[in-house]
Structure 1
Amino acid sequence: MAESTRARMVTAAVESLRRRGLAGMSFTEVLADSGAARGAIYHHFPGGKAQLVTEAAQLHGQQVADRLTDISGASPRAVVEAFLDLVRPVVEDSTRGCGCAIAAVTVSVDDDHSELLRTAAAAFASWAHQLAVALTDAGMPEARAEDLAQLLIALLEGAQVLCRADSSTTAFEQAARAALAATP
């Protein structure tokens, strides 16, 4: 079944956020990438750019959370290895100018961005929760699993920024080695 115009627009907005960030995202680009007509903007998103961006962030956050539910391992170290394998292509993309759509919405272009911040916080929390569950299921005590899960999310987000700036995955590989060394 073909994806709806609205869904194509939200997907295009996710990619625009990844490439250009919140400030650089434009309706023109979203329309071109989604194949939607100009009139589709306010028909599907009467709240304008804020509504489209919020829905794009929610979609991306859920997509990542869904991928993280597939992570498991016989040991906490195996879970960390699986996480690092999962995110490595994302970090590699960052060396070519792509970033995280969720992180992009935390950098506001206006004064009232509390809904975007709540959306981002919820996404990051759900990712950390999924990782903590996998680590706990692999035998790690809950409090330690929650701490390590937060560290891994911070590693992912920070690595994307550092690797984008350096056009290299060196920072990610260093952080990955440190995370593995700290994991039983």
Structure 2
Amino acid sequence: MSNDTKARMIDAAIDALQRRGVAGMSFTEILDASGAARGAIYHHFPGGKGELVAEAATRNGQDVRAHMAALPGTTPAAIVDNFLAAVRPVVAASAGGGGCAVAAITVEPDGDALRTIADTAFTSWTTALAERLGATGVEPAEAADLATALIGLLEGAHILCRAAGTLEPFERTARAATELIRSRYPHQKQSR
């Protein structure tokens, strides 16, 4: 039961980070959303808000990495198509005021430890995506470059879509990425 309470608090913190960032996140909000008692805060997170934020961002980073590592596809285009399909609903949430919980921790003043957590998460996403692309025959350096571009597309789309209040910036970027990958690998059968 105790671990369930902690997991619910971390889930609530991820959601709060996505919507308001670290500065806008409050313990009251976390307690209300998770159904946890006030004493649960320092029981599960004796380091306070900083510890809760760090655990939430770390877990969110690990969850996204697992999704990246499991992307289906046997061609570079299929991996890119499936990546775009997987992130589209997440970016759509940005158009409605959401965002990336991991990106949210990068803007904290005096947040060197949090930036390290974000860097670890982004690096793991890029590595997992590069490994999936490499499994389709893309050379390792090119796979790393392409994976980095796709993660940059994702994170940039969060910002642009949130600012615009629409998914259109993502859709334009997704079309461009799709065309680029198809022109780069025209000889490969396009399959999902």
- Do Structure 1 and Structure 2 share a fold, with TM-score over 0.5? yes
Query: 2:172: which partner in 1?
Result: 174
The answer to whether the Cα contact below 8 Å between 1:72 and 1:138 also exists between their aligned partners in 2 is: no
SS of corresponding position for 1:4: helix
Query: What pairs up with 1:57-72 in 2 under 5 angstroms?
Result: 57-72=57-72
Query: What pairs up with 1:1-184 in 2 under 5 angstroms?
Result: 4-108=4-108, 110-111=109-110, 113-183=111-181, 184=185
- TM-score where L is the length of structure 2: 0.92
Partner amino acid, structure 2, of 1:11: D
Unaligned runs of 5+ in 2: 186-192
Q: Structure 1 164/54 Cα, relative in aligned 2: closer, same or farther at 3 Å?
A: same
Identify the range of structure 1 (66-75 vs 1-10) with the bigger mean alpha-carbon deviation: 1-10
The answer to whether the Cα contact below 8 Å between 1:18 and 1:101 also exists between their aligned partners in 2 is: yes
Structure 1 residue 36: Cα displacement: 0.6
C-alpha distance in 2, partners of 1:158/1:69? 21
Q: Where do 4+ consecutive residues of structure 1 move more than 3 Å?
A: none
Deviations 1:20-73 (A, max 9, x none): 111100000000000011111111111000000000000100110111111131
C-alpha distance in 2, partners of 1:72/1:10? 28
The answer to whether the Cα contact below 8 Å between 1:94 and 1:164 also exists between their aligned partners in 2 is: yes
Partner amino acid, structure 1, of 2:117: T
Unaligned runs of 5+ in 1: none
Partner amino acid, structure 1, of 2:162: R
**RMSD of aligned residue pairs (Cα, Å):** 1.3
SS of corresponding position for 1:182: helix
- TM-score where L is the length of structure 1: 0.95
